[in-house]
Amino acid sequence: MTDYRIAEAAEVLGVSDDTVRRWVDAGRLPAAHDSGPTVIAGADLAALAASLVDDVERERTRAGSVSARNRMTGIVTRVVRDTVMAQIELVCGPYRVVSLMSAEAATELGLEPGVRAIASVKSTAVVVERP
């Protein structure tokens, strides 16, 4: 399973490190505080990211710095796969991005909820890569 440090989670969600810390302290985002840095399970981060897509708090993110032509780092929140195709949903900052690709490509990239990925958007095509 993929784990994220506070700064990585903040980058994926498009919020500040302090916002992620507040969410952890408030119990909104589960985190492990054992030995070493605080880490957040990828599946927990994906669940929060998916819930934030329509949340009013998204208005306070750095949405103005992202263009539809950019490569946007995000977190995979959902994967629907059949024998031929896969639908990949990511949350990249305040944006929800959906990509269709071959099931084989999704498997080779190791795409599953909680995994960090990059959405490259150009015209009507969305290319998903692993960082």
- Give percent of the chain with pLDDT exceeding 70: 83
* 8 A C-beta contact, residue 53 and residue 60: no
Predicted structure pTM score = 0.59
Whose CA is closest to 129, among 121, 117, 111? 117
User: Which amino acid would we find at residue 111?
Assistant: L
**pLDDT digits over 54-79, tens only?**
664 444 444 445 454 578 889 999 99
Q: Which residue ranges form the domains of the chain, and what is each CATH number?
A: 1-131 (2.40.50.100)
Average pLDDT on 110-125 reads 85
| CA 50 from centre of chain | 8
Find the distance separating the first CA and the last CA of the chain, reported in whole Å: 16
Q: How many CB atoms lie within 10 A of CB 59?
A: 8
